[in-house]
Structure 1
Amino acid sequence: MITDAAIRAMLAAEQDHFRAANPRSRSLAHQAGRHWYRGVPFHWMIDWGTPFPLFAERAAGAELWDVDGHRYDDFCLGDTGAMFGHSPPPVARAIARQAGRGLTMMLGTEDAPAVADALAERFGLPFWQVTSTASEANRAVIRWCRAITGRKTLLVYNGCYHGAVDDVFVDLRDGVPELRRSLVGQVYDVRQHTRVIEFNDLAALEAALAPGDVAALLMEPAMTNVGMVLPDPGYLEAVRDLTRRHGTLLVFDETHTISSGHGGHTRAFGPEPDLFVLGKPVGGGVPCAVYGFTAEVAARMEAARAAGETGHSGIGTTLSANALALAAMRACLTEVMTPEAYDHMLPLAARLAEELQEVIRAHDLPWPVLHVGARVEFLCADAPPRNGSEARAATHGALEHAIHLYLTNRGVLIAPFHNMMLVCPATTDAQVGRLATALDQCLKALTR
């Protein structure tokens, strides 16, 4: 049993530990606070639960060093942005080569056909577009789906996250849709055109689709942003059948579930969607994203374009598909995100999940450990959640804060959002062992 008093004691001790061990980060935090809002270039950088921001000096492979000289086993990996390791050598070489030849020209380069061929071969969809972020890709996909179906409604799952896209920020609270409480500056009610249901609830899905007004269902094949929620057996196949039957386009956002295998969750487990989004991992750390679609969708997109006017479509920016991003994607897709990389990542992640489960059981805790390919997560709850409401209820903020800070102080980084860990091609058996040992020591202290 873990008491509130034990959590408070650990937090106090670990905060003191962090302050004493990181004088250079403390100094930089003071300097940064002069002009950066909240003291950081972007607000997520203060979500690690440390008394002041931790400043990085460098990172390579599955390791990171801070400005005070501490080395970390990095299982966060830029919250998936560096899912295949920090600065993979092929990507670093491609970036350096392209940097001297032009960064952005609003024109394709010789990398363009190679990237498109690699995407089509890997994911099975014939047509693709490049954007700067997954948020932008999801926003473009929503626009296209509404345009080609003539329908206005978007369907999402409770607890979903698909980037900074206004349309998806609707939650269910006690079965009632409401605007996400964290959404800043919202001036119109997106519930007018967004419907939200629980994951793994086929009856709710059929009821939501029945009016015939849903342009698209935007989803992760396994939810990863509200804690991990896995699909029930047969659920995704039923989703595919129901969306087809009701004329709704099915969109898989695989920005996180690309961890499932070389072709993502789609190629590893099926079924095939109408549109497919892949964000931050595809460029090895360079900001870029892609979305792919079927030939039928492409034809309908052409028809929608022909019915309108040429000019601004509301899709894309001048930096979309810039030369640097294309070079990075080509290197990452062809030399980094390889079957051999997954042959290393998947069994090592399975071992990590097993070791963490053994540690948790040894302390008589009921917490489940879930994993989707190379992505692993433990939940401070009694059972695996089946939907967003259950996953949200399983969150234990103070306890997770204490665990994260304890691990950070012992040279182990996991994602600051939930208890998520990633295994990359550079992750070693020794790093997995150190993470399991650190969690064991943490739980000993909490359950003492």
Structure 2
Amino acid sequence: MISSTAIARVANREADRFRDANRQAFAHHAAAKGWFQSVPFHWMRDWPSPVPIVAASASGATLTSIDGQAYDDFCLGDTASLFGHSPPALAAALAKQAAEGLSYMLPTTRGAALSERFSAMFGLPQWQVTTTASEANRAVIRWCRGISGRAKILTFNGAYHGAVDDAFVDLKGGMPTMRASLVGQVHDLRGTTTVIEFNDEEALAAALRGRDIACVLAEPVMTNVGMVLDAPGFLAALRRLCNETGTLLVFDETHTISSGYGGHGVTHGPAPDLMVVGKSIGGGVPCAVYGFSADVADRMASLNAARAPGHSGIGTTLSANALAIAAMDTMLSDVITPAAYDRMLRGAARLVGGLEQVIAASGLDWHVTQVGARVEFLTCPTPPRNGGEAKAAMHPELEAVIHLCLANRGILLAPFHNMMLVSPVTGDNQIDRLVGAFADCVRALKE
């Protein structure tokens, strides 16, 4: 058990150390008055450090700050650079495409080959490109409602599917509640969004039995409320119940692409009717895709033929721009390969083993959770079974001080619940440094 006194002591000491080592970062933020909260986008303020580190460059699995510090990067842009920063093949392809034009609102010669690459990797025959995974999730919800004639969707408590209003409903005391952090929401979402706990097969069956839910929108493993693994048989039951009730099953694999080549559905099953994946497939270039079965494609085409022409509410001008197509085509052909996953999963296993050794040697009742190349340590004794348990188990002050402690030792984790990503170019020496720094942090907290 780590005391609140120890957390405060280490937090103060590490904050002082950070200030001494990052003077240019402080100067940068002081000068950036034209940005709201001194950053170009508000999430950049979510780091536990006194100010965010200011990046100068990144390559492979190393990020360098304007203060000249090199970090072993296990955040990797919160999955955007899951396969490493600026892979050489991607950098070359982007430079070539930039010289030939960035956005035409027309298909390019690479587009046909890219759609086949997506089909081969993820097992779904039809695809569309968007600019973000949030946009892809919005499109999928619209299509599912349109082709099913049903208004409701179902999500799981604590889930996050990007900036999609429909998903911002949680359970509080067992009752659906609109998420308090949702800014400017004026419509009550609870009439069209049903929310239940993950891994609750009984609640799932009861919710779907009314046959008024268009789709279940789910990560096959929850990753945004800490990592909550699927209970044995739950995903199979989810697939079966969707089939029985005519409900479409959507997997948001933006994060669970870490599970293995083809994502969690291909690696572990079951297959969804539709899927969304973003961030990493463009290597950091803003883009995402959603794929769907032949049956869904036929229903979408029928819906299009039956409705009046005009704006569908799906898509933006920059969707499928030439730069994004070039980025995804290069990533899928040269970077996101089965061999890359072999290296990622081997490195993740090394990381899990090292962290577990430190936790055991320290006598802490913590545990480590893994979703392929995605690893997280949780400061609670047992793995949570759902989003409610995961939120209750969180210790924000302790997580923040560990994050800052590691940053001061040259290790960069994701700012959200101490999640770590292992890329194909992450070295064993980087993994071992993370484990060693983690041990230092634990010792400091137990002093």
Q: Which residue of 2 aligns with 1:74?
A: 73
SS at 2:177's partner residue? strand
- The one-letter code of the counterpart of 1:307 is A
Alignment partners' CA distance in 1, 2:22 and 2:351: 29
Q: Does 1:298 align with 2:297?
A: yes
C-alpha displacement at 1:297, in angstroms?
0.1
Could you list the per-position Cα deviations for residues 260-285 of structure 1 after superposition, in whole angstroms to 9, with x for gaps in the alignment?
11111111101110001001011011
Q: Which residue of 2 aligns with 1:50?
A: 49
Alignment partners' CA distance in 1, 2:204 and 2:353: 34
Alignment partners' CA distance in 2, 1:173 and 1:378: 25
Give identity over the alignment, percent. 59
- The one-letter code of the counterpart of 2:213 is V
C-alpha displacement at 1:114, in angstroms?
1.2
Q: Does 1:211 align with 2:217?
A: no
1:195-234 aligned at under 5 Å gives the runs 195-234=194-233
Alignment partners' CA distance in 1, 2:100 and 2:56: 28
SS at 1:311's partner residue? coil
Could you list the per-position Cα deviations for residues 228-263 of structure 1 after superposition, in whole angstroms to 9, with x for gaps in the alignment?
000011111110000010000000000000001111
- The one-letter code of the counterpart of 1:407 is L
C-alpha displacement at 1:355, in angstroms?
0.8
Alignment partners' CA distance in 1, 2:425 and 2:227: 24
Give the gaps of 5 or more residues in structure 1.
Answer: none
Give the gaps of 5 or more residues in structure 2.
Answer: none
Q: Which residue of 2 aligns with 1:150?
A: 149
Could you list the per-position Cα deviations for residues 25-79 of structure 1 after superposition, in whole angstroms to 9, with x for gaps in the alignment?
11111111x1110110011111111112210000000000000100000000000
C-alpha displacement at 1:141, in angstroms?
0.0
Q: Which residue of 1 aligns with 2:420?
A: 421
Q: Does 1:377 align with 2:371?
A: no
TM-score (norm 2): 0.99
C-alpha displacement at 1:174, in angstroms?
1.4
SS at 2:100's partner residue? coil
Alignment partners' CA distance in 2, 1:52 and 1:334: 38
SS at 1:314's partner residue? coil
Alignment partners' CA distance in 1, 2:431 and 2:22: 25
Q: Which residue of 2 aligns with 1:29?
A: 29
Alignment partners' CA distance in 1, 2:376 and 2:352: 8
1:113-192 aligned at under 5 Å gives the runs 113-192=112-191
C-alpha displacement at 1:366, in angstroms?
1.1
SS at 2:63's partner residue? strand
C-alpha displacement at 1:350, in angstroms?
1.1
Q: Which residue of 2 aligns with 1:2?
A: 2
Alignment partners' CA distance in 2, 1:311 and 1:83: 38
SS at 2:158's partner residue? coil
C-alpha displacement at 1:363, in angstroms?
0.8
Q: Which residue of 1 aligns with 2:355?
A: 356
Could you list the per-position Cα deviations for residues 375-394 of structure 1 after superposition, in whole angstroms to 9, with x for gaps in the alignment?
00010111000000000011
Alignment partners' CA distance in 2, 1:58 and 1:348: 24
- The one-letter code of the counterpart of 1:305 is N
SS at 1:100's partner residue? helix
**How many pairs were matched up?**
447
- The one-letter code of the counterpart of 1:230 is L
Alignment partners' CA distance in 2, 1:302 and 1:220: 26
Q: Which residue of 2 aligns with 1:15?
A: 15
SS at 2:249's partner residue? strand
TM-score (norm 1): 0.99
Q: Which residue of 2 aligns with 1:98?
A: 97
Please give the root-mean-square deviation of Cα atoms over the aligned residues, in Å: 0.6
Alignment partners' CA distance in 2, 1:116 and 1:399: 44
Alignment partners' CA distance in 2, 1:94 and 1:172: 45
- The one-letter code of the counterpart of 2:404 is L
Could you list the per-position Cα deviations for residues 145-177 of structure 1 after superposition, in whole angstroms to 9, with x for gaps in the alignment?
000000000100000000000000000011111
Alignment partners' CA distance in 2, 1:251 and 1:368: 30
1:186-335 aligned at under 5 Å gives the runs 186-335=185-334
SS at 1:87's partner residue? coil
Q: Which residue of 2 aligns with 1:107?
A: 106
- The one-letter code of the counterpart of 1:22 is N
Alignment partners' CA distance in 1, 2:319 and 2:210: 36
- The one-letter code of the counterpart of 1:9 is R
Alignment partners' CA distance in 1, 2:19 and 2:324: 38
- Worse overlay, 47-56 or 62-71: 47-56
Could you list the per-position Cα deviations for residues 351-374 of structure 1 after superposition, in whole angstroms to 9, with x for gaps in the alignment?
101110110111111111010110
Alignment partners' CA distance in 2, 1:244 and 1:114: 32
Alignment partners' CA distance in 1, 2:54 and 2:205: 48
- The one-letter code of the counterpart of 1:95 is L
- The one-letter code of the counterpart of 2:400 is H
- The one-letter code of the counterpart of 1:14 is E
Alignment partners' CA distance in 2, 1:86 and 1:97: 18
C-alpha displacement at 1:226, in angstroms?
0.2
Give runs of ≥4 in structure 1 deviating > 6 Å: none
- The one-letter code of the counterpart of 2:22 is N
Alignment partners' CA distance in 2, 1:354 and 1:48: 27
Q: Which residue of 1 aligns with 2:410?
A: 411
Alignment partners' CA distance in 2, 1:313 and 1:297: 17
